[in-house]
Protein backbone atom coordinates (compact mmCIF):
# COMPACT_ATOMS: atom_id res chain seq x y z
CA UNK A 1 0.00 0.00 0.00
CA UNK A 2 1.63 3.21 -1.19
CA UNK A 3 1.10 5.86 1.46
CA UNK A 4 2.74 8.58 -0.62
CA UNK A 5 1.84 8.78 -4.28
CA UNK A 6 3.24 10.81 -7.12
CA UNK A 7 0.91 9.97 -9.94
CA UNK A 8 2.83 11.70 -12.73
CA UNK A 9 5.97 9.77 -13.65
CA UNK A 10 7.12 12.69 -15.80
CA UNK A 11 6.36 16.31 -16.54
CA UNK A 12 7.61 18.55 -19.34
CA UNK A 13 7.60 22.35 -18.88
CA UNK A 14 8.85 25.26 -20.97
CA UNK A 15 11.76 27.21 -19.53
CA UNK A 16 10.53 30.30 -17.69
CA UNK A 17 7.08 28.87 -17.01
CA UNK A 18 5.75 27.44 -13.75
CA UNK A 19 6.36 23.78 -12.89
CA UNK A 20 3.83 22.15 -10.56
CA UNK A 21 4.61 18.77 -9.09
CA UNK A 22 1.93 16.95 -7.13
CA UNK A 23 1.93 14.47 -4.30
CA UNK A 24 -0.93 12.72 -2.50
CA UNK A 25 -0.80 10.85 0.77
CA UNK A 26 -3.14 8.54 2.62
CA UNK A 27 -1.82 8.49 6.19
CA UNK A 28 -3.42 11.26 8.27
CA UNK A 29 -0.66 10.83 10.87
CA UNK A 30 1.92 12.37 8.55
CA UNK A 31 2.87 15.76 9.94
CA UNK A 32 6.03 16.65 8.07
CA UNK A 33 6.54 16.68 4.33
CA UNK A 34 9.64 17.14 2.24
CA UNK A 35 10.70 17.46 -1.34
CA UNK A 36 14.00 16.09 -2.57
CA UNK A 37 15.60 16.54 -5.94
CA UNK A 38 17.77 13.92 -7.63
CA UNK A 39 20.13 14.24 -10.58
CA UNK A 40 21.36 11.12 -12.39
CA UNK A 41 24.28 9.38 -10.69
CA UNK A 42 23.83 11.47 -7.55
CA UNK A 43 21.94 10.94 -4.33
CA UNK A 44 18.79 12.97 -3.57
CA UNK A 45 19.30 16.44 -2.10
CA UNK A 46 16.89 18.14 0.25
CA UNK A 47 14.92 20.95 -1.39
CA UNK A 48 12.15 22.23 0.85
CA UNK A 49 9.90 21.03 3.65
CA UNK A 50 6.62 21.92 5.30
CA UNK A 51 5.11 21.11 8.66
CA UNK A 52 1.44 20.22 8.93
CA UNK A 53 0.81 23.36 10.99
CA UNK A 54 1.45 25.42 7.86
CA UNK A 55 -0.18 25.45 4.46
CA UNK A 56 2.62 27.13 2.56
CA UNK A 57 6.38 27.41 2.69
CA UNK A 58 8.51 29.42 0.32
CA UNK A 59 12.21 29.35 -0.48
CA UNK A 60 13.26 31.44 -3.44
CA UNK A 61 11.78 29.99 -6.61
CA UNK A 62 10.36 27.01 -4.72
CA UNK A 63 7.04 26.99 -2.88
CA UNK A 64 5.35 24.02 -1.29
CA UNK A 65 1.61 24.05 -0.63
CA UNK A 66 -0.12 21.67 1.75
CA UNK A 67 -3.84 20.90 1.66
CA UNK A 68 -4.47 18.70 4.69
CA UNK A 69 -8.15 18.12 4.03
CA UNK A 70 -7.34 16.78 0.57
CA UNK A 71 -4.15 15.06 1.77
CA UNK A 72 -2.34 16.72 -1.08
CA UNK A 73 0.80 18.74 -1.44
CA UNK A 74 2.37 20.42 -4.41
CA UNK A 75 5.71 21.93 -5.29
CA UNK A 76 5.73 25.05 -7.46
CA UNK A 77 8.88 26.15 -9.24
CA UNK A 78 8.75 29.66 -10.70
CA UNK A 79 10.35 30.40 -13.08
CA UNK A 80 11.54 26.99 -14.25
CA UNK A 81 15.17 26.80 -15.31
CA UNK A 82 17.10 24.15 -17.27
CA UNK A 83 18.98 23.14 -14.10
CA UNK A 84 15.66 22.16 -12.55
CA UNK A 85 15.50 19.12 -14.83
CA UNK A 86 15.72 16.25 -12.36
CA UNK A 87 13.62 13.67 -10.57
CA UNK A 88 11.62 15.13 -7.68
CA UNK A 89 10.62 12.98 -4.73
CA UNK A 90 7.97 13.78 -2.20
CA UNK A 91 8.44 12.25 1.27
CA UNK A 92 6.53 12.29 4.55
CA UNK A 93 7.12 11.42 8.17
CA UNK A 94 4.91 10.98 11.21
CA UNK A 95 5.69 12.27 14.68
CA UNK A 96 9.09 11.79 16.16
CA UNK A 97 9.72 8.71 14.02
CA UNK A 98 12.03 10.10 11.42
CA UNK A 99 11.48 7.24 9.02
CA UNK A 100 10.58 8.83 5.71
CA UNK A 101 7.95 7.37 3.41
CA UNK A 102 8.75 8.27 -0.18
CA UNK A 103 6.78 8.69 -3.36
CA UNK A 104 7.97 7.08 -6.60
CA UNK A 105 9.24 10.37 -8.01
CA UNK A 106 8.35 12.65 -10.93
CA UNK A 107 10.88 13.33 -13.67
CA UNK A 108 10.76 17.03 -14.55
CA UNK A 109 12.06 18.04 -17.97
CA UNK A 110 12.55 21.74 -18.66
CA UNK A 111 12.45 22.50 -22.37
CA UNK A 112 14.47 25.44 -23.73
Contacts with another protein by CB under 8 A lie at: 4, 6, 9, 32, 34, 41-46, 49, 89, 91, 93, 97-105
Spatial contact of 73 and 66, defined as CB atoms under 8 Å apart: yes
User: Minimum CB separation from another protein for residue 83, in Å?
Assistant: 18
Phi, psi of 26 (to 5 degrees): -115, -25
Residue with Cβ nearer another protein (5 or 68)? 5
User: Minimum CB separation from another protein for residue 106, in Å?
Assistant: 10
CA atoms within 13 Å, Cβ hemisphere of 38: 18
Residue with Cβ nearer another protein (98 or 112)? 98
| Cα gap 73→7, rounded to integer Å | 12
Residue with Cβ nearer another protein (20 or 94)? 94
Instruction: Sort strands 86-94 and 45-51 into parallel, antiparallel or unpaired.
Output: unpaired
User: Minimum CB separation from another protein for residue 67, in Å?
Assistant: 20
Amino acid sequence: DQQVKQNSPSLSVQEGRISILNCDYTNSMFDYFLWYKKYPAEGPTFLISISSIKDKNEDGRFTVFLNKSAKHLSLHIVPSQPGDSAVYFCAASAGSNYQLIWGAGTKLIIKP
